[in-house]
A and B are shown apart, each in its own frame.
Chain A
Amino acid sequence: MAERVKYIKRHCKYTEAKIDYIDYKDLSLLKHSLSERFKIMPRRLTGNSKEAQDMVKIAIKRARHMALIPYIVDNKKINNDFWDKAQNK
C-alpha cells in the first residue's frame, strides 16, 4: 500500500480578502507571495488561486523592474529590515 501524503488544505488569501487586482506598488500584497530571498513562492505552498498567482507574478516582476523589491539577495549585504522600511513609506 502506497503511503498517503497528508495535504493541508490551503486557502487563497487574495480571494478571501476579495482583491480583484494586485497592484505592483502595493508591497504589502506582494509580500505574501515572496520567499525570504525574494523568490516568487509556488502556488502549492501559498495556496493562491490561479488567477491570483497570475496577477501576483506580473506585479512582482514589475516591482522588481522598478527597484521596489530586489531581484536577488546579496549574501554580503543582507537587508533584514527591508519590509519595516517599506512599510514606513
Chain B
Amino acid sequence: MIRQYETMFIVKPTLTEEEIKGRIEFVKETLTKQGADIKAVTEMGMRDLAYDIEKNARGYYTVIYFTAPTSAIKELERVYGITEDIIRFIVVSYDKKVEQAAWEVMVKKALGQPVEEKKLSYGPRGGDRKPRGDRGDRGDRGDRGERKPYKPREDREPKEDQDNSAKGE
C-alpha cells in the first residue's frame, strides 16, 4: 500500500560538505531502491541542536517528502540505524485526510511554489476589526477664560477644622 511519508534526519557536523551531500544521496538511493517516489527535498542546513546528541552541538538537517509502500519504511529505519553519521532521524506518516492535505501543502512549499502562510495572531481580542485610521489631532480648544471666584456653598455647612477625618473616630 502506497502511503505519504516525510522523513527528517540529522547528519554529523564534523563531515565535509561533500560527505554530507553523499550521505543525503545515500538515503535517497535507499528510498528509491525500495520503490519510493521522492517528491521534494528540503535542506534546512546546519543548525544548532537544542541539546547535545552524541557530543555534537550542531547538525545538518534534511527533510525528504516521499510516497512509498509501507515495507520501505522498515528498510529505511534499518539503514538509518546502521549509518553512524546520521545521529537522529524521524519518519512521519500522513494518513488522515487533513494530514494528507497538509502534506501536499508542505511538498508545494518545498518545491518553491507559493503557499498561503498561516500564522497565529497575537493582537488583542477582536483582532478582525479594521484599523480605524488616523483621525488626526483634536486641535486647539481655545482659552478657558477666567476662573470663577471661590464661593462657599450654600447647601453645606462651612468646613470645620481640617484633617479631622484623617484622625478617625
Contact = CB atoms under 8 A, between A and B. Distances in A.
Interface of A: 11, 13-14, 16-21, 23-25, 28-29, 32, 62, 64-71, 82, 85, 89
Main secondary structure of the interface of A (DSSP, over half): loop
Main secondary structure of the interface of B (DSSP, over half): strand
A29 B120 contact: yes
A29 B102 CA distance: 14
Given A24-B92, A62-B90, A67-B59, 11 more contacts: A14-B120, A17-B121, A20-B102, A21-B99, A23-B106, A25-B8, A25-B44, A28-B119, A32-B120, A66-B90, A70-B50
Nearest to B116: A18
Interface of B: 8, 10, 44-45, 47-51, 53, 59, 61, 63, 88, 90, 92, 98-99, 101-102, 106, 118-121, 125
B164 to A, nearest CB: 37
